[in-house]
Each structure stands twice: as structure tokens, then as C-alpha cells.
Amino acid sequence: MTADTKATASEPDRWKAALRNPYLIGPVKFILPLAVIPAVFAALYLTEPYDRFLVLSGLIAAYFVPPAGKESIIPIAILMGYPWWLIMLVIFLLDVAVSLFVVWNFDLALKIPLVGRLLEGGMRVARNYTEKQPWLRRFSTIGLTLFVFFPLQGTGAMNGSILGRLLGLDKTRVFSCVCIGSFTSCLVFALGADVLLDVYRQDPTLGIGLLVLIVVAVLAGVVGWRMREKRLRGRRPS
């Protein structure tokens, strides 16, 4: 075996050793998720007119401020004329960045003052959900995906990633569940809002009627969910 052959053969070993180096991987895992968010803003800045970029940036910033969520930000953006696929992709990428950061850096992030308080609040929410909904532990993968999918108060990519950690799931499964839940949720809201807007443009009466039916169905679901939680709390021994 020649020297060149030995060097070529050892090249994969050097890459494997580099990938196992904590001094290299640690900073990459911390920086990479955070880099996704400015990358999204940069892509929007380069592809959208400046005034539309500013409006969409405001909607993205509002997405990180409770109680705003994809159930409100996505329809608002579509009503303002943004393509359904664009706002869906943007919100999904933001969820991917948040989930990846939490999954990779949970213990370290707890030590960061502001971020640590946010994560501790998410841990309280996740613990409350596991106590109120014990089926989440029995069907952890499906339950975590549904937790992220349904736009209930306290759900989402960050708290979903924290819940996956509390359920004892491995990092890859947690990230996959959060991505599936986020993507399907964003898709449903984006396509639903786009279709509803098209119906309204063709027949305003029918569009308003469908919107009222959706609002009534959502309110009925929320009321039913809360009544169920009250019954469960009433059955628990004091």
C-alpha cells in the first residue's frame, strides 16, 4: 500500500474523529439552530419587496410572542397577500430551528438567564400536560406529534421538544415528532386559509358561513376539552 493510498484510507477516520470532537460539535450544535432564523430573514430580504419584507418580519416576530401562534399568524399573512406555501415554509423552519436548539442544547440553555426561564416555563407546561393527559406517556410518539399539531395554549415546537425530553424519548425521535407535527399543522392552516379565502372571493356569503362554522367547531372543541379536564380533575383523589 502506497503512502497516497494510506492517506486516502485514513481520511474517513479523520472525519469521524473530528465529528466526535466535543470542542467542535458543541459550538456547531449551539450555533447551527440559531443561524437558521437569520438565514430565513436574509432569504426573505433578498426575495421579497422591502415593504413586504418588513410586514412579514413583524409577523414572524409576533409568532414568538404568546398568545400568537400559527393558527393566527398564518391566516393573517395569507389575508395580506402572501403565498400560502411561503408563510407555511417560514413558520415550519422557525419551528425546526427552535426544536433543534432545545433538543441539542437543553442542559446548556437552562443556564442562560432569559432562555433558561423560558425553558423552565415550558417544563412546567409539559409536566402539567403529562399529569392531565396520562395517555401521552403510553403513546409517547403519537402523543408528542399531536401535542405539537394541535394549537392549544402552551403547545408548540419548544414545549413539544421539552415534553419529548420529559417522556424519555431519544433526540432523533423528539425532533422527528416535532417536525411532523409542525409541518402538518402549518400545512393544514395554510391550505385551509387559502381555500377559505378563494371561496370568499367567489361567494362571500358561503365564505363567511364556512368561517362561522369553523369558529363554532373550534370553540366547541375548546369548551369540550376544558370540560373533560375539569371532570378528570374532579375524579382525582384529594
Across 36-46, average pLDDT: 93
Q: What does the pLDDT read at residue 226?
A: 67
**Helix-helix angle 171-202:70-79, to 10 degrees:** 40
SS3 category, 49 = coil
CA distance 88 to 192: 11
Amino acid at position 59, single letter:
L
CA distance 110 to 106: 6
Condensed to tens digits (0 to 9), the pLDDT of residues 57-80 reads 999 988 887 777 888 899 999 999
Nearest to 160 by CA among 69, 25, 58, 73: 69
pLDDT band at 238 (very low <50, low <70, confident <90, very high): very low
The lowest-confidence range among 5-14, 49-58, 61-70, 193-202 is 5-14
The lowest-confidence range among 15-19, 65-69, 171-175 is 15-19
pLDDT band at 156 (very low <50, low <70, confident <90, very high): confident
**Helix-helix angle 22-47:84-109, to 10 degrees:** 160
CA distance 61 to 55: 10
pLDDT band at 9 (very low <50, low <70, confident <90, very high): very low
Q: How many beta carbons lie within 10 A of that of residue 116, not counting itself?
A: 13
With pLDDT > 70 as the criterion, what percentage of the chain qualifies? 79
More confident residue, 73 or 223: 73
Condensed to tens digits (0 to 9), the pLDDT of residues 100-153 reads 998 888 877 777 777 777 777 777 777 777 777 676 667 678 888 888 888 766
Quote the mean pLDDT of the chain: 80
More confident residue, 201 or 30: 201
Nearest-5° Cα angle at 129, 128 to 132: 85
In the chain, the largest separation of any two C-alpha atoms, in whole Å, equals 80
Q: Is the pLDDT of residue 15 over 70?
A: no
55: which DSSP letter? Answer: H
Look at the alpha carbons of 187, 198, 64, 124 in this order and tell me if their dihedral is positive or negative: negative
Across 150-176, average pLDDT: 81
Candidate ranges 86-90, 141-145, 169-173, 206-210; pick with highest mean pLDDT: 86-90
The Cα-based distances of 14 to 4, 17, 23, 41, 62 in angstroms read 15, 5, 15, 35, 44
With pLDDT > 90 as the criterion, what percentage of the chain qualifies? 30
CA distance 40 to 64: 15
pLDDT band at 21 (very low <50, low <70, confident <90, very high): low
More confident residue, 14 or 185: 185
More confident residue, 136 or 208: 208
The answer, yes or no, to whether the previous bond of 66 is cis (omega within 30 of 0) is: no
**Helix-helix angle 113-132:157-166, to 10 degrees:** 70
Q: What does the pLDDT read at residue 135?
A: 66
Output the nine-digit C-alpha cell for 160: 413539544
